[in-house]
Amino acid sequence: MQITGNTVFIPGATSGIGLALARRLHAAGNTVIIGGRRTELLESIAADEPGLHTVRIDTADPASIEAAAKQVIAEHPELNVLITMAGVMRGEDWTGPDFVATAEEIITTNVLGPIRLIGAFIEQLRSRPDATIMTVSSGLAFTPLRVTPTYNASKAAIHMLSESIRLQLADTGVRVVELVPPAVRTSLMPGQEESDFAMPLDAFADEVMGLIESQPDATEIQVENVKFLRYAEVRGEYDQTVAMLNRLDPH
């Protein structure tokens, strides 16, 4: 995607990576609409940064997705970029019976959410001459963290969905770009904002903006820190990387 001149909707930008990218995309000359459930954050972010638009959306709720999509498209008919950022990460213990509800919650938000969002926006995106769907996977889609089985699987699903819908949309004006973050200091998991293992948020967001600008045709946005997970198997170092990652696991 081009770094400037777009109208971008980011459901999942009340905090963390989504908000950091929203601020930078806005500063780079894009119209940006951020979404999330926490209305108090949406209001304070909008008050802080004039020109940033907001919409309340719960991406775990199909009716909320439909309503927000209608509103965003009506207010911003030039919308050409959707970033399916909203996601949750939870630890699970699959040695006991209590993980199923957690697993269902993760799949609803991390997999059904992006699917429903893309469904709600695909006609709009196809109507634009140059459009982008940016999905958000994780280094954990490629090398698993022991404590978060369903999260890892949800991100592997996002990777393969991205690969597959890119093939279907190849003859349209809609590009599919997968953002593959490493561990980044956000509030995604308890303790993550202080984790030495995770990358500082600003450094990550700056590197992502640099990659979007220098590689407008990239199909994956990979900062340097994610490559040891992304390419562990390709390097022939999968078992060692799994072992190392899970010893380093700060949770």
Ligand X SMILES: NC(=O)c1ccc[n+]([C@@H]2O[C@H](COP(=O)([O-])OP(=O)(O)OC[C@H]3O[C@@H](n4cnc5c(N)ncnc54)[C@H](OP(=O)(O)O)[C@@H]3O)[C@@H](O)[C@H]2O)c1
Binding region for ligand X (CB under 6 A) = 11-18, 36-38, 41, 57-60, 85-89, 109, 136, 138, 181, 183-184, 186-188, 198
CB of 71 to ligand X, least distance (A): 14
Q: How far is the CB of 109 from ligand X (least distance, A)?
A: 5
Burial (Cβ within 10 Å: 0-12, 13-18, ≥19) of residue 171: exposed
C-alpha to C-alpha distance for 181 and 12, rounded to whole angstroms: 15
Cβ closer to ligand X: 1 or 13?
13
Residue 114 CB, nearest approach to ligand X (Å): 9
- Catalytic site residue from 9, 142, 151, 204: 151
Q: Please give the C-alpha separations between residue 209 and each of 68, 159, 162, 215, in angstroms, as whole numbers.
A: 26, 20, 20, 10
Q: How far is the CB of 167 from ligand X (least distance, A)?
A: 23
| Alpha-carbon distances, residue 243 vs 67, 94, 141, 144, 232 (angstroms) | 45, 19, 16, 10, 11
- Residues 1 and 177: their CA atoms lie apart, in Å, by 8
**Helices 149-168 and 113-126, packing angle to 10 deg:** 20
Q: How far apart, in whole angstroms, are the C-alpha atoms of residue 118 and residue 150? A: 21
Please work out, in degrees rounded to the nearest 5, the angle formed at the alpha carbon of residue 86 by the alpha carbons of 82 and 92.
145
Which CB atom, from 69 or from 188, has the smaller least distance to ligand X? 188
Q: How far is the CB of 154 from ligand X (least distance, A)?
A: 8
Nearer to ligand X, 17 or 212 (CB): 17
Backbone φ and ψ for 19, nearest 5 degrees, come out as -70, -40
Nearer to ligand X, 45 or 131 (CB): 45
**Cβ proximity to ligand X, 5 vs 191, nearer residue:** 191
In angstroms, the CA 130 to CA 173 distance is: 5
* CB-based contact 219:180 (threshold 8 Å): no
Specify whether 151 is catalytic. Answer: yes
Catalytic residue list: 151
